[in-house]
Chain A
Amino acid sequence: MKPIYMDNNATTACDPAVVEAMLPFFTEQFGNASSIHSFGAQVGKALKDARIKVQNLLGAAHDSEIVFTSCGTESDSTAILSALKAQPERRTLITTVVEHPAILALCDQLEKEGYVVHKLPVNKKGRVDLDEYKSLLSERVALVSVMWANNETGTLFPVEEMAEMAHEKGVMFHTDAVQAVGKVPIDLKTTKIDMLSLSGHKLHAPKGIGVLYVRRNTRFRPLLRGGHQERGRRAGTENSASIVGLGVASELALQHMETENTTVKRLRDRLERGILARVNNAFVNGDTLYRLPNTASIAFEYVEGEGILLLLNKMGIAASSGSACTSGSLEPSHVMRAMGIPYTAAHGTIRFSLSRYNTEEEVDRVIAAVPSIIAQLRKLSPYWSGDGPVTNPEQAFQPEYA
């Protein structure tokens, strides 16, 4: 049976049209865009077209605001370090506790180096408190960096409003929009967002290509210095094939924006309802009213996520978990912990993330597969007995060390 891929927040398949557009840039179109001869000039023209396509997807005012990078992580690092270098008198950052490690690990390092980092907490639904945020904004803050959408739960953050609030206090605003671009409409020219990160492989472009949007007149310091590429804001010979691929993917994403928010959303909702109707002691994580159309984060209580993933994989279904055991760390995902999800549920959280390539038939196959997998694992669980959890599970089973 054909495998089912529902891990699109991890990475997506390259669209065939993207691959086709890229291929000539490995062969006859191999020139360096910076060269004066015709080999280079044609590549230069292709990059220009791709830049405009990304500009259109983001609703940026100018194509020169698009800076191609190697990945989302590079874009995030560039944004944060640029803001600190350009404003050395400001030594504070504001972010959230549920950011991607691309932001959090860098912030932790900066804290060690003496910078002050405020990480906004979130409530049970994964939302931040805007009053608390407002109270933290001051002339000491170099940058606010808040994700547009959370990768694990799909919860959307009010980044446009938060950017306005930062702007009023004269504070620069960056958003890691890696999960949001291509799934929710974005029109940067009508916002106060100064910088935005995106990653190609999350929207059916290849891996190894990213973008940092830098609003015109934003004070900027490059991460990589060298040649004049990207107007001196990101030196290094352009990854021309991938840039062309991202251009095509951006064009396609814009065309399918409605599909994402109608068809894909419907499939996601069908999946969630189908599973919850058949499995007891399970619930959806995150803000169900305000989230990405493709993401379903479902907590299955009293079982551990890796076991679920291995059994799903055996049935040809690919999903992911926020579980500790898949990442090599012992604690469950920092996002689940930040939302106060109990350990018995956080460890058993599975993320299904869909794309426009998923079908209703696939969704129904997953709905059919999940209940027996959960039942099989619960039969092994010391917290479970028969059809439900043991009475007072947390008291009934209290192992030696905590």
Chain B
Amino acid sequence: MWDYSEKVREHFFNPKNSGPLENANGVGDVGSIKCGDALRLMLQVNPETEIIEAAQFQTFGCGSAIASSSALTEIIKGKTLDEALKVSNQDIADYLDGLPPEKMHCSVMGREALQAAVANYRGEVWSDDHEEGDLVCKCFAIDAVMIEDTIRANGLKTREEVTNYTKAGGGCSACHEKIEDVLIAVNGRLYGSEPKPRKAPARLPNESPVKPKLTNYQRIRKIEDTLEAIRPMLQRDHGDVTLVEVDGKKIYVALSGACQGCSMEAATLGGIQQKLIEALGELVQVLPVAALAHT
């Protein structure tokens, strides 16, 4: 059985404002019978003040869907439409002292019903952009559709990248197999799992034995370009990186923002190093700017 809070149980066993509302002038129907959750929210809005004077619901769904509906009506009663529209699904969950990650979609449904009901009152057409897949990462409540979309939009290839972009798999790590399944479904294969060739393949006699060496200028440009490509990823997490110094095989960088002092700093530097090694085709060492002071 789910670990529901006292508040959720209370709103399920004794739901507030349930049943049809006579004289409703804004009605929002959302949900899906297929998924087992469907909600009708009925509002009575004062046309003069736009204040929600009454809100009632009817819900087909599990305990937390009914509790979320009940909580929603309690939260929005007495608010103006504009105030009500600021209510987020997290507000609904917080009002109930939290929902299990698998049940967060119940609060999302509540918020959508509200948007739909307001749109109905205003004579607008509301369309849902919400699609939900099976829950993959329980730690951060990330579903398969969200992972799929992120893989497609960013051309992600590895589980590590998926974790960097979506957080999925960044906690207990039990869902890594499922993430790999999604990667295979989108990309047709899993990159990075093929065995590495044990030695360099035999060269043809007329092939140049070494790659043309980069000039110093070209090399630094290449380092800068590589860092530039990494920055958006860090900025997503409110961090950043800049190049400070290149001293032979040692590349000094400064991490800033949220990256600074982050417990994942070493991992971040390791990732940058890997990218630079690939880009330059030589072994280099990436060090934090602090290390420069010690030299």
A343: contacting residue among B19, B36, B126, CB under 8 A: B36
How far apart are B30's CB and chain A's nearest CB, in angstroms? 5
State the CA gap A96–B112 with chains docked (Å). 39
Q: Is the CB of B34 within 8 A of A343?
A: yes
Please list 26 pairs of residues, one from A and one from B, whose beta carbons are closer than 8 Å in the complex, sorted by A's number. A302-B60, A304-B60, A304-B62, A310-B12, A310-B13, A310-B63, A313-B1, A323-B62, A325-B62, A326-B62, A330-B35, A330-B134, A331-B34, A331-B35, A344-B60, A347-B60, A379-B18, A380-B57, A381-B59, A382-B39, A385-B20, A399-B29, A399-B31, A399-B32, A399-B39, A401-B128
Q: A399-B31, A400-B29, A400-B126 are in contact. Are A325 and B66 (CB under 8 A)?
A: no
Instruction: Identify which of residues 276-324 in chain A touch chain B, using a CB-to-CB cut-off of 8 Å.
Output: 302-307, 309-311, 313-314, 323-324
Determine which of B13, B61, B126 lies in contact with A304 in the assembled complex, contact meaning CB atoms within 8 Å: B61
CB closest residue in chain A, given B70: A380
- Residues in B neighbouring A324, C-beta threshold 8 A: 35-36
**Would you call B116 an interface residue if the criterion is a C-beta within 8 Å of the partner chain's C-beta atoms?**
yes
A217 at interface by CB-CB < 8 Å: no
Q: What A residues does B132 contact at CB under 8 A?
A: 330
Is residue A213 contacting chain B, with contact meaning CB distance below 8 A? no
Known: A398-B29, A399-B31. A382 touches B66 (CB 8 A): no
Q: Are A402 and B62 in contact (CB under 8 A)?
A: no
Contact A401 B134 (CB under 8 A): no
Bound Cα distance A401, B20 (Å): 21
List of A residues within 8 angstroms of B34 by Cβ: 330-331, 343, 402
Contacts known (A381-B59, A382-B58); A399 close to B33, Cβ less than 8 A: yes
Task: Report whether A304 and B134 are in contact in the complex, using a CB–CB cutoff of 8 Å.
Answer: no
Contact partners of B19 in chain A: CB under 8 A = 379-380
A307 with B63: CB separation less than 8 A = yes
A332 at the interface (CB under 8 A from B): yes
- Provide the residues of chain B in CB contact with A311, threshold 8 Å: 13
Q: Given the complex of chains A and B, what is the CA–CA distance between A123 and B132 in angstroms?
A: 29
Whether B38 pairs with A397 at a CB distance below 8 angstroms is yes
Q: Does A392 contact B (CB under 8 A)?
A: no
Judging by beta carbons under 8 Å apart, are A383 and B35 in contact? Answer: no
Is the pair B112, A325 in contact by a Cβ cutoff of 8 Å? no
Distance to closest chain A CB from B219 (angstroms):
44
Tell me, rounded to whole Å, the shortest Cβ–Cβ distance linking B58 to chain A. 4
Chain A contacts with B in 325-353, Cβ cutoff 8 A: 325-326, 328-332, 343-344, 347
A57 to chain B, nearest CB (A): 32
A39 and B181 CA atoms in complex are apart in Å by 49
Residue in A310, A324, A380, A399 whose Cβ sees the most chain B Cβ within 10 Å: A399
The answer to whether A347 and B58 touch across the interface, beta carbons within 8 angstroms, is no
- B116: contacting residue among A331, A397, A400, CB under 8 A: A400
| Contact string against A for B residues 109-129, beta-carbon threshold 8 Å, 1 for contact and 0 otherwise | 000100010000000001110
Instruction: Report how many residues on chain A are interfacial, defined by Cβ distance under 8 Å.
Output: 36
Q: Which residue of A lies closest to B33 (CB)?
A: A343
Q: How far is the CA of A328 from the CA of B60 in the complex (A)?
A: 17
Known: A382-B40, A400-B116. A328 touches B59 (CB 8 A): no
The CA of A314 and the CA of B63, in the complex, are separated in Å by 13
Residue B130 is within 8 A (CB to CB) of chain A in the complex:
yes
Residues of A close to B78: CB separation below 8 A? none
- Size of the B side of the interface (Cβ < 8 Å), in residues, is 44
Residues of A within 8 A of B29 (CB): 382, 397-400
* Alpha-carbon gap, A383 to B39, bound state (A): 10
**CA A311 to CA B1, docked complex, whole Å:** 12
Q: Which residues in B have their C-beta under 8 angstroms from that of A344? A: 33, 60
A325 in contact with B40 (CB, 8 Å): no
CB–CB A328/B63 < 8 A: no
Known A330-B134, A399-B32, A399-B39: A382·B128 in contact at CB below 8 Å: no
Contact with A along B21-63 (1 / 0, CB 8 A): 0000000011111111111100000000000000001111111
A302-B58 Cα distance, complex, nearest whole Å? 12
- Partner of B135 from the list A302, A313, A328 (CB cut-off 8 Å) is A328
Q: Taking CB as reference atom, which chain A residue is nearest B15?
A: A380
Q: Give CA–CA (A402, B31) in the complex, Å.
A: 7
Residue in A325, A331, A399 whose beta carbon sits within 8 Å of that of B38 in the complex: A399
A401 to B2, CA, bound (A): 26
Known A328-B135, A347-B60, A381-B59; 10 more pairs at CB < 8 Å: A302-B60, A305-B62, A307-B63, A325-B62, A344-B60, A397-B29, A397-B38, A399-B32, A400-B31, A402-B32
- The reply to whether B130 and A401 form a contact with Cβ atoms under 8 Å apart is yes
Shortest beta-carbon distance from B11 to chain A in Å: 12
Residue B148 is within 8 A (CB to CB) of chain A in the complex: no
> Complex: how many Å from CA A381 to CA B66?
10
Residues of B close to A331: CB separation below 8 A: 34-35
Which A residues are CB-close (under 8 A) to B13? Answer: 310-311, 314
Cβ-defined contact, A325 with B31, below 8 A: no
B31, A401: Cβ atoms closer than 8 Å? yes
Cβ-defined contact, A330 with B66, below 8 A: no
Contacts of A400 in B (CB 8 A): 29-31, 112, 116, 126-128
Provide the B4-16 mask, 1 if CB < 8 A to any CB of A, else 0: 0000010011010
Structural contact, A330 and B36, CB atoms closer than 8 A = yes
Q: Could you say which of B15, B60, B64 contacts A303, with CB atoms under 8 Å apart?
A: B60
Q: How far is the CA of A28 from the CA of B105 in the complex (A)?
A: 53
